[in-house]
Chain A
Amino acid sequence: MKNKQPKYKDFTTEDFLEDEFFVMWVKKATEESNQFWEEWTKVHPHKVPALMEAKNIILSTHYKKQDELDSTEILEMYEQIVKGNSTQPSQLGTSSNNWWGVFTKIAAVILVLLVAGFGVYHMNQQGVNALSGETEEVWLSAISPVGKKTTIRLMDGTVVKLNAGSSLFYPKRFGDKYRKVILKGEAFFDVAKNPEKPFIIETGEIETKVLGTSFNIKSDTTHNKVQVAVVTGIVEVSDKGGNHIKLTPMEAVTYDSKIKNIEKHTVEDMDAVVGWKEGLLQFNKAGFREICERLETWYGVDIVLAEDFKEPGAYSGRYANQSLQNVLEGISYTSGFNYKIKDKKVFISN
């Protein structure tokens, strides 16, 4: 490479950019290239500004659209790869904006979850590589399939109740400084007290830190929302923008990851928030689409709407440990539609 020396002596910034050997050194230095450029700068000190400028331009080049995956997504995808669940392209109805497009997508998600939960009786424990932390530990995952709730007792005594269609990632052994878990979906935490080791829950862009208390976290990726509601104790919720909000009982925050906005509010009806863990299914002026989504996850069914179906208005109602049939009976009576349950499918028409 020494023979390159004379070539570089009249180099301008752009000339450096045209030099593959130089660009590759900036992007991925090797021992050889390091040595070469070190010597070179000694011989041509007056060319250093041009070289530094070229280097700076290369290092600051990036895509205008810099989309990224979060740690939960990376873990989940890895799990799917290990299991070998490839997604059939036809299931991805994401392009159309109409009802049906959205609907196929929901059905597909549920299908994938059902596959994931199949053959695993209560809880699926599987070693997953820790992709996020500094600690080197084995991570486990608990997946609650649709239509089923799961209770997990962690090694520190914390009890987590996972709602249907949710998953929790946690290390086999907690580190020395804190206890960290990753949640996707909705769960109720009853955290074992340990002031020396705070309990941290990562949910997308939101982190909830607690010392020992019980609260509910709901992350809804389809609607870009995370909600944390406190039943007892004190928790601190932080977002990536550096906001920290302290919550006391009957308080909650809602984070909208689309507009990066975090908002604190009081909870008027705690049952509506945490009632799910006692089997309480509650709708509070819920739109028809929300009702369908919740029923599908709650009962593990697939709802199929008639082609010419007209959406009824908002609905409120409360069902404690009721069968799907009873719930549908109630809603259809108020909202005025017909339904038919067949295996794991519900057909709805006007």
Chain B
Amino acid sequence: MKMIARGYYSNKIADSDERHPVKENHIPKTSQQKYELLEDKALWKAFREGDQGAFSHIYKTYVQTLFTFGCQIVNDRELVKDCIQNLFIDLKKPSKKNTEILSIKSYLFKSMYRRVIRMAKRENRYLSYNNKWETEGFMVSFSHERTLINEEILKDKKTKIEKVVNELPNRQREAFLYHFYEGLSYEEVAHVMDLQKVHSARKLIYKAIGTIKEKLNPAIVLTSVVVLLLILLLVF
């Protein structure tokens, strides 16, 4: 996935097709690593300054993720593919180049979410407000492949967590996946979900984990409440 930029430029001289999409030719042969090591902001800056290699690197890094994500909202491969295509085409428009971003991923996700919903609506695919995604959309699953010493016990725990998470309200489940699967920070989750405050994103995730805690260890929760009450009684 990360090989493109380099091969692209190193072979450039031999392929002098005028329709060649690359305009720059001053990028060094080892540019491939350059993009990988770049921090989000620097990569975005390079892209904004017209670096085609940076653009294709962004595409390669996020195309699969965006697809899996889009399919959570609408179960229609072609529609999701079109949204990704249009998203990247629009990204190249000069007017979009001055956009300040929090992170590339959260920017793409937010834009993607809106596009899919918009297009799905146009196609009359949009379900009711309460049931806004496809049946299996934003449902969580835990793989059991990673081996650990306590895998057997953990497997059982994961199955329980899976059940609890999948019964959570939509927004909590969505935030849960953004944070734990997509690796978005609270701030990024707030951005993607159109929440005014970072605090609101944290609250959604805390509520989700709180429910897990409660459902998995009801006894512990009870004891801790009792202990807390005892402490309070002693203090006052």
Give the docked Cα–Cα distance between A126 and B22 (Å): 11
Q: Which of A63, A136, A138 contacts B140 (CB 8 A)?
A: A63
Is B123 in contact with A92, judged by CB distance below 8 angstroms? yes
Q: How far is the CB of A202 from chain B (nearest CB, A)?
A: 16
**Which has the most chain B C-beta neighbours within 10 Å: A24, A64, A66, A173?**
A64
Give the docked Cα–Cα distance between A84 and B86 (Å): 8
Q: Which of A17, A20, A57, A134 contacts B142 (CB 8 A)?
A: A57
**Which has the most chain A C-beta neighbours within 10 Å: B76, B82, B137?**
B82
A120 (CB) vs chain B CBs: closest residue = B19
Give the docked Cα–Cα distance between A78 and B139 (Å): 29
Q: How far is the CB of B137 from chain A (nearest CB, A)?
A: 7
Chain B interface, >50% SS class? helix
User: Given known contacts A53-B154, A56-B154, A126-B19, is B85 in contact with A62 (CB within 8 Å)?
Assistant: no
Is B15 in contact with A86, judged by CB distance below 8 angstroms? no
**Which has the most chain A C-beta neighbours within 10 Å: B80, B134, B161?**
B161
Q: Which residues of A56-111 have CB atoms within 8 Å of chain B's CB atoms?
A: 56-69, 73-74, 77-78, 80-82, 84-87, 89-90, 92-95, 105
Is A67 in contact with B85, judged by CB distance below 8 angstroms? no
Cβ of B146 within 8 Å of any chain A Cβ, yes or no, is yes
Is A138 in contact with B11, judged by CB distance below 8 angstroms? yes
Give the docked Cα–Cα distance between A94 and B140 (Å): 27
Cβ of A137 within 8 Å of any chain B Cβ, yes or no, is yes
Is A136 in contact with B60, judged by CB distance below 8 angstroms? no
Stretch at the interface among B43-51, B94-102, B175-183, B228-236: B175-183
Could you say which residues of chain B place their CB within 8 Å of the CB of A172?
Answer: 11, 14-15
Is A60 in contact with B142, judged by CB distance below 8 angstroms? yes
B184 (CB) vs chain A CBs: closest residue = A27
Could you say which residues of chain A place their CB within 8 Å of the CB of B56?
Answer: 78, 129
Is A136 in contact with B10, judged by CB distance below 8 angstroms? yes
Is B85 in contact with A61, judged by CB distance below 8 angstroms? no
Cβ of B28 within 8 Å of any chain A Cβ, yes or no, is no
Could you say which residues of chain A place their CB within 8 Å of the CB of B125?
Answer: 95
Residue-wise, chain A 37-57 has the 8 Å CB interface mask toward B (1 for contact) of: 000000000000100110011
Give the docked Cα–Cα distance between A52 and B185 (Å): 20
Is B78 in contact with A94, judged by CB distance below 8 angstroms? yes
Give the docked Cα–Cα distance between A20 and B92 (Å): 33
Is B180 in contact with A58, judged by CB distance below 8 angstroms? yes
Q: Which of A17, A69, A105, A127 contacts B15 (CB 8 A)?
A: A127
Q: How far is the CB of B58 from chain A (nearest CB, A)?
A: 11
Q: How far is the CB of B10 from chain A (nearest CB, A)?
A: 7
A-B contact count (CB 8 A): 186
Q: Which residues of B19-76 have CB atoms within 8 Å of chain A's CB atoms?
A: 19-22, 32, 56, 59-60, 63-64, 67-68, 71-72, 75-76
Is A67 in contact with B77, judged by CB distance below 8 angstroms? yes
Is B89 in contact with A69, judged by CB distance below 8 angstroms? no
Q: How far is the CB of A296 from chain B (nearest CB, A)?
A: 18
User: Given known contacts A60-B142, A94-B123, A127-B8, is B185 in contact with A77 (CB within 8 Å)?
Assistant: no
Count, chain B residues at interface, CB 8 A: 80
Q: Which of A20, A81, A173 contacts B88 (CB 8 A)?
A: A81
Could you say which residues of chain A place their CB within 8 Å of the CB of B143?
Answer: 60, 62
Cβ of B168 within 8 Å of any chain A Cβ, yes or no, is no
Could you say which residues of chain A place their CB within 8 Å of the CB of B179?
Answer: 23
Q: Which of B59, B136, B185 contacts A20 (CB 8 A)?
A: B185
Is A92 in contact with B78, judged by CB distance below 8 angstroms? yes
Is B67 in contact with A130, judged by CB distance below 8 angstroms? no
Cβ of B124 within 8 Å of any chain A Cβ, yes or no, is yes
Is B141 in contact with A127, judged by CB distance below 8 angstroms? no
Is A92 in contact with B85, judged by CB distance below 8 angstroms? no
A66 (CB) vs chain B CBs: closest residue = B68
Give the docked Cα–Cα distance between A332 and B85 (Å): 40
Is A127 in contact with B212, judged by CB distance below 8 angstroms? no
Is B85 in contact with A87, judged by CB distance below 8 angstroms? yes
Cβ of B191 within 8 Å of any chain A Cβ, yes or no, is no
Give the docked Cα–Cα distance between A52 and B143 (Å): 15
Cβ of A154 within 8 Å of any chain B Cβ, yes or no, is no
Could you say which residues of chain B place their CB within 8 Å of the CB of A86?
Answer: 85-86, 89-90
Is A63 in contact with B158, judged by CB distance below 8 angstroms? no
Give the docked Cα–Cα distance between A137 and B6 (Å): 8
CB<8 Å pairs between A and B, sample of 28: A14-B213, A17-B180, A17-B212, A18-B206, A20-B186, A23-B183, A24-B185, A52-B148, A57-B180, A62-B140, A64-B136, A64-B140, A65-B134, A65-B139, A66-B68, A74-B64, A77-B81, A80-B89, A86-B90, A89-B119, A92-B82, A105-B78, A127-B17, A127-B22, A130-B7, A131-B1, A133-B3, A172-B14
The 8 closest A-B pairs by CB, nearest first: A27-B183, A136-B7, A129-B4, A64-B139, A67-B71, A64-B141, A138-B11, A82-B21
A89-B123, A129-B56 known; 6 new pairs, CB 8 Å cut-off, are A14-B209, A18-B206, A65-B139, A77-B84, A126-B17, A173-B11
| Residues of A bordering B, CB below 8 Å | 14, 17-18, 20, 23-24, 27-28, 49, 52-53, 56-69, 73-74, 77-78, 80-82, 84-87, 89-90, 92-95, 105, 124-127, 129-131, 133-138, 172-173
| Residues of B bordering A, CB below 8 Å | 1, 3-8, 10-12, 14-15, 17, 19-22, 32, 56, 59-60, 63-64, 67-68, 71-72, 75-82, 84-86, 88-90, 92, 119, 122-125, 134, 136-146, 148, 150, 154, 157-158, 161, 166, 176-177, 179-181, 183, 185-186, 202, 205-206, 209, 212-213
